[in-house]
Amino acid sequence: MKNQNILDKVKPKFFKEHQESIYQALEDKHTTIESIEDEDPLNTKMILNMGPQHPATHGVLRLILQLNGEVIEKTKVDIGYLHRGVEKIAENKTYQEFMPYTDRMDYLSPYSNNVALCTAVEKIANVEVPERAHYIRMIGCELARISSHLLWLGTMVMDAGAISFFIWTFREREKLYDIFDNLGGHRFTISHSRIGGVANDMTDDCIGMIKEFVNTFPQELKDWHGLLDRNRIFIDRNEDVGVLHTEDALELGAAGPTLRASGYAYDIRKMEPYARYDEVDFEVPTRLEGDNLARYYVRMEEMHESIRIIRQCLDKLPKGPVRTDNAKQAYPSKDEVYYSMEGMIHDFMMTDTGICPPEGAECYHAVEGPKGELGYYIKSDGTGHPWRMKIKTGSFANLQILENILDGEMVADTVVIIGGLDPVMGEADK
Amino acid sequence: MALELSEKHKQVIDKLSDNFPDKYIETYQSSGDTFVRVEADAIVEICSFLKNECHFTYLGDVFAADRFTSRQRFEVFYNLVSLKDQIRIFIKVLLEENDPVIQSVTSVWKSANWSEREVYDMFGIQFTGHSDLRRIFMPQDFDYYPMRKEFPLLGIPGSIELPNTTPDTE
């Protein structure tokens, strides 16, 4: 199909140049195939535009598929519909002010994002974090990972055809929301982590809730395994679908569970341990197949490992302060702010100027988010604002994979493959 | 400042400076991360050397920064990870403000494709040899490079006027 024919049919009204270029890019992809099959006597070829407003694309992802019958010949992915320019915003905010924006990047696991920003700022500004805060952060991160994987599980199984599963995983997520509500005062975008520690300590009530969740959740996981592992429909829809071969996975830059499902045990928690991940015992689940079913097993096992980590953290949870007691580096506690003059001045200074890393310092710090490596590069000019902040996200990397693994698949498998990769557009588009 | 390199980092940097004596410029450390500055014109050779000889098989990211200086305004970083040695290294090149052009490393790692498109979209740095250099976040019709420092935080130059922010004094 020629580019002009497509454009004549589509008649784009907005951003004409953009529409033209993406159809042109689709035509240019593997031009060798195009030249052989230029004639189409049976009229089986069509261009399918999927999204950005499509319920199965998990946000505002747009795919342009060239179909031959039911087979996808080639694909182009168009992202950027949720681009808010958070990196630009970061350059005009203090580090602490930027925290709520990170919640809205990967909005399925806000806690990981907060911790990623805090650890990066702590690394560049040499802030010591109390032991207890590290453990609270680890518990928060692992709960966020479970929360994110639960949403993935619900929607992915729904994409494969089972609607009721979504309700069961959301019942568990609801418990996690309640825990976060008790922990930080918000259910969804919690912003609980602070530079130099966390905002407030866990209550006994909260620890009780986490313990109860840790005790009941493995049984739920077991039930889901029982429901899905030998389910003929589920396996037929996922096995050998969207295969990312081991030799391509690194080359194409896959991240997180997608990379681990293709055979590489690349986990930041093991490679560059942050917080206290070097003191807890856990495995990095991997699979070799690289298909959607392998991704399912990897994520399910990751939830098991998260529960294991939370259990160990609860056992080890040391006593002590939850934020560093240096008023030049972190917010003073509210007691100090309300009852002492110095406390109030320091609080004001932290809000106004914030923490100032040394001039010219650069750092990169990554955490293992639920979607993959979540890294913050910060370059400081000595003021309270970063000179440049670059955020490396797992979803962006995995969407690039999508463009490569969709070719040759059936059109009905598209939504399952998107579901299996688990992209979050807030994170990919930044 | 004296460098405190780990054994593996040291080996990599020694190899690099031995093999590319003209192209290697300097190594520096900041907050525990290792940055290696090289000449921009040899980036593809250096990257393929690092990939093939030093096991840097995984390209984490390509990103740029705007230094807002009159000379060598832009810097481009390559975040490389070696799964074998479990180390991370940053390769950095500096580019001039007028006509910032660098060779694309998509021939070395395919994953550079989208990252380079993002750098092009946000900073206007051209990558020669890139197969599909389109904007990625902004629409193709967009005329500016928003992450450059001169781009305002509010409003697009020449677009609809922003609402008046000063209070109404009547």
Enclosing H/E stretch for A310: helix A292-316
Q: Check B63 against A392: CB less than 8 A apart.
A: yes
Provide the number of structural domains found in chain A: 2
pTM: 0.86
Tell me the pLDDT of chain A averaged across its residues. Answer: 85
Closest chain B C-alpha to A47 CA, distance in angstroms:
20
Partners of residue B88 in chain A, C-beta under 8 Å: 272, 364
Say whether A123 and B32 touch across the interface (CB within 8 A): yes
Q: CB distance B137–A17 less than 8 Å?
A: no
At A35 the pLDDT is 40
The residue of chain B nearest to residue A273, with distances taken between CA atoms, is: B86
Out of A41, A58, A78, pick the residue that ends a domain: A78
Among chain B residues, the shortest Cα distance to A27 is held by: B132
Q: Map residue B68 onto helix, strand or coil.
A: coil
In A324-422, DSSP assigns E strands to 362-369, 372-380, 386-392
Q: Does residue A11 register a pLDDT over 70?
A: yes
Domain with A228 in it: what CATH number?
1.10.645.10
Confidence at A146, pLDDT banded by 50, 70, 90 = very high
CA-based diameter of chain A, in Å? Answer: 83
A33 and A93 housed in the same domain: no
Q: Provide the pLDDT for residue A33.
A: 39
Per DSSP, the residues of A190-256 read ---EETTEESSPPPHHHHHHHHHHHHHHHHHHHHHHHHHTT-HHHHHHHTTSS---HHHHHHTT--H
User: Same domain, yes or no, for A225 and A309?
Assistant: yes
Cβ–Cβ of A88/B147 closer than 8 Å?
yes
Single out the residue in A44, A78, A112 at which a domain terminates: A78
* The pLDDT of residue A384: 86
**Is the CB of residue A255 less than 8 Å from the CB of residue A398?**
yes
Which of B58, B135, B151 is the closest to A250 by Cβ? B58
C-alpha dihedral, B144 to B147 to B153 to B159, nearest 10°: 10
**Beta strands, E only, B39-169:** 58-66, 74-82, 87-95, 101-103, 126-128
Q: Which residues are paired to A46 by β-bridges?
A: A67
CA distance A79 to chain B (A): 6
Range of the domain at A392: 86-325+354-429
Closest Cα to residue A411, out of A228, A291, A241, A262? A241
Residues in A closer than 8 angstroms to B60, CB to CB, are: 253, 373, 375, 392
**A60 reaches B (C-beta below 8 A):** no
* Residue with the two structure tokens 């806000």: A110
B71 touches chain A (CB under 8 A): no
- Regarding whether A163 and A141 lie in a shared domain, the answer is yes
Contact between B35 and A253 using a beta-carbon 8 Å cutoff: no
What pLDDT score does B119 carry? Answer: 92
Chain A residues within 8 A of B55 when measuring between CB atoms: none
Give the Cα separation of A5 and A361 in Å (integer): 53
Contact criterion met (CB below 8 Å) for B38 and B105: no
Q: Which residue in the set B30, B59, B83 is minimally distant from A362, CB to CB?
A: B30
Considering the segment(s) B7-109 as one domain, its CATH architecture is: 2-Layer Sandwich (3.30)
User: A270 with A183, same domain?
Assistant: yes
Same structural domain, A151 and A175: yes
B135 touches chain A (CB under 8 A): yes
Q: What is the dihedral of CA A61, A293, A249, B34, to 10 degrees?
A: 80
Closest residue of chain B to A425, computed from CA coordinates: B137
Percent of chain A residues topping a pLDDT of 70: 94
Mutate to test the interface with B, among A390, A391, A405, A407 (most CBs of B within 10 A): A390
Query: B63-99 as b/e, with b when 16 or more CB fall inside 10 Å?
Result: bbbbbeeeeebbbbbbbbbbbebebbbbbbbbbeeee
**A415 alpha-carbon distance from chain centroid:** 18
Q: Which residues on A lie below 8 Å from B153 (Cβ)?
A: 88-89, 92
Comparing A164-168, A183-187, B166-170, the range with the smallest average pLDDT is: B166-170
Backbone φ, ψ for residue A212 (5° rounding): -65, -40
For residue A403, the model assigns a pLDDT of 86
Q: Does B127 touch chain A (CB under 8 A)?
A: no
**Distance between CA atoms of residues A196 and A278, nearest Å:** 20
Pair (A110, A254) in one structural domain: yes
Q: How far is CA A370 from the centre of its chain?
A: 5
What is the pLDDT, as a whole number, of residue A377?
92
Q: Which tens digits make up the pLDDT trace of A367-395?
A: 998 988 899 999 998 888 899 999 999 89
Parallel, antiparallel, or unpaired: how do β-strands B33-38 and B87-95 relate? parallel
The angle, 0 to 180 degrees and rounded to 10, between the axes of the packed helices A394-405 and B112-123 is: 120
Q: What is the largest CA-CA distance in chain B?
A: 73
* Residues 257-296 (A) with a CB less than 8 A from some CB of B: 264, 266, 271-272
A233 in the same domain as A300: yes
**A22 and B CB contact within 8 Å:** yes
The reply to whether A254 and A403 lie within a common domain is: yes
Residues in chain B: 170
Interface check for A383 against chain B (CB to CB < 8 A): the answer is no
Interchain CB distance below 8 Å, A388 and B66: yes
Instruction: Report the pLDDT value the prediction gives residue A128, as an integer from 0 to 100.
Output: 87
B154 contacts chain A (CB < 8 A): no
Contact list, A387 vs chain B (CB under 8 Å): 65
Q: Do A17 and B140 touch (CB under 8 A)?
A: yes
Quick one: closest CA in B to A381, which residue?
B67
pLDDT of residue A227: 86
Q: Which of A197, A177, A189, A186 is nearest to A113 (CA)?
A: A189
Q: Answer with the one of A53, A78, A103 that is the final residue of a domain.
A: A78
* Same domain? A171 vs A67: no
Q: What is the pLDDT of residues A217-236, one digit of tens each?
A: 999 899 999 888 888 888 88
Closest-CA residue of chain A to B137: A80
CA-CA distance, A123 to A135, in Å (whole number)?
A: 17
Residues 100-129 of A with CB under 8 A from B: 123-124, 126
Q: What is the pLDDT along chain B (170 residues), one digit of tens a residue?
A: 567 788 888 888 888 888 888 888 888 888 888 899 898 888 888 888 888 888 888 888 899 999 888 888 899 999 998 888 888 899 999 998 888 899 999 888 888 989 999 999 999 899 998 888 888 888 888 888 888 888 888 777 677 777 777 777 65
Tell me the H-state helices in B3-132: 7-19, 43-53, 112-123
Q: Name which of A14, A86, A250 to mutate to probe chain B: the one with the most chain B Cβ atoms within 10 A of its Cβ.
A: A250
Domain identity same for A58 and A109? no
Q: Are residues A236 and A107 in the same domain?
A: yes
pLDDT tens for A296-332 read 999 999 999 999 999 999 998 888 888 888 877 888 8
Please check the confidence at residue A338 and state whether its pLDDT lies above 70. Answer: yes
Q: Is A345 on the interface with B (CB under 8 A)?
A: no
pLDDT at A249: 87
Q: A392, B77: Cβ pair inside 8 Å?
A: no
Of residues B165 and A401, the one with the higher pLDDT is A401
Note the pLDDT tens digit of each residue in A12-67.
777 777 778 877 777 766 543 344 455 665 667 777 888 787 777 777 888 888 88
- Which residue of B30, B74, B105 to mutate against A (max A Cβ within 10 Å)? B30
Backbone angles phi, psi at A236, to 5 degrees: -60, -35
Q: pLDDT tens digits for A252-264?
A: 888 889 999 998 8
Same domain, residue pair A50 and A109 = no
Q: Is A107 a domain residue?
A: yes
User: Would you list the domain boundaries of chain B?
Assistant: 7-109
User: B79–A16: do the CB atoms touch at under 8 Å?
Assistant: no
Contact state of B63 with A390 under an 8 Å Cβ cutoff:
yes
Per-residue tokens: B57? 């098989």
Residue A360 lies in a domain: yes
